[in-house]
Structure 1
């Protein structure tokens, strides 16, 4: 397995933010690219239901600040884990399903995450909204695993961790029938931090 260079692309991910009725947030999703050469990411057409590699965050409470057309979401330090689902079973209708399978790595965000939502208004169009964020996360646990005839270890690829850049839509998706009042889709791309020292 080849180690990535510092700031080399580590992954592409897509998922959804879920907010519970009491205001707790968490994100769940799957990977479109990982630094696992030759590992099949999907057991069929790419979708969450066929994804072998998924992620799930530990729920957290966020604060917010408004500054004109900018709305800033302040997410505390928290953790998220990556999972190998040898038999894919994830569904956006069941967020907990993204945390099934074998935990292959856990990351902890290194500081407060500031997510920015920008509202713009055009003369002949309705308001358009874009949400972005960026954060770094240290790899705190990595579990080597065998898959499709090869051995993989995320620690060997990304080193100390990742920095991820995210973009979120602000048009809500219908939430699952119980427990959630807001769901927003997002995508993220991460680069490797490389070796410490």
Structure 2
């Protein structure tokens, strides 16, 4: 297993942002649509791709986001923080966006850490809204896992981490699960980060 080529597509994910009822913390969670380098199926039922059949999920450690307003542009400033990747094997049922804990009840296979403050922007005007963010995350821990008879380790695939661009949907999902005041869907696209200069 060789590392992915720098700047090549690493993964595609989709998920949701969850704002706590007290408005103090945010977390994002979801599942993988594609992870380059894995030959196994990412869904228990390839004909029904959804959170309920996803075999690889992720969930961020809740964090507190700051805000900056500039006219119609609302900026979120997120601190450095971790998010974890999980394998849903035969022992684990499918995930549900109505039950956020189901995205983190699989076997932990990797932890990534956002390498710097993350800035995202939401623009609203002319009856339309657009929300974007971008961040780089370093792989800080991983372990081998098996998928369809093959062994993998993200330390070998993505040793230097990823840079991800995300786009959130314009409309919150209702009703929000208990404990949360707002839930917003998003899609993320990541590329592999190359080694530091001189390495």
TM-score (norm 1): 0.94
Q: CA deviation at 1:175?
A: 3.8
Change (3 A) 1:35 1:131: same
Please identify runs of 4+ aligned residues in structure 1 that moved more than 2 A: 194-197
Report if the CA contact (8 A) 1:11-1:189 is conserved. yes
1:52-131 to 2 correspondence within 5 Å? Answer: 52-87=55-90, 88-121=93-126, 127-131=127-131
Runs of 5+ consecutive residues of structure 2 not aligned to the other structure: none
Q: CA deviation at 1:184?
A: 0.1
Q: CA deviation at 1:39?
A: 1.1
Q: Equivalent residue for 1:22?
A: 22
Q: Equivalent residue for 2:170?
A: 170
Q: CA deviation at 1:35?
A: 2.0
Q: CA deviation at 1:22?
A: 1.7
Distance across 2 between alignment mates of 1:175 and 1:140: 35
SS in 2 for 1:116: strand
Distance across 1 between alignment mates of 2:5 and 2:110: 19
Distance across 2 between alignment mates of 1:102 and 1:195: 28
Distance across 2 between alignment mates of 1:16 and 1:114: 17
Report if the CA contact (8 A) 2:119-2:133 is conserved. yes
- How many residue pairs get aligned? The number is 192
C-alpha RMSD of matched pairs (Å): 1.2
Q: Equivalent residue for 2:135?
A: 135
Distance across 1 between alignment mates of 2:7 and 2:41: 24
SS in 2 for 1:50: coil
Q: CA deviation at 1:65?
A: 0.4
CA deviations over 1:134-189 (Å, ceiling 9, x no partner): 00001000111122110101111112100000000131101444101100000000
1:3-14 to 2 correspondence within 5 Å? Answer: 3-14=3-14
TM-score (norm 2): 0.93
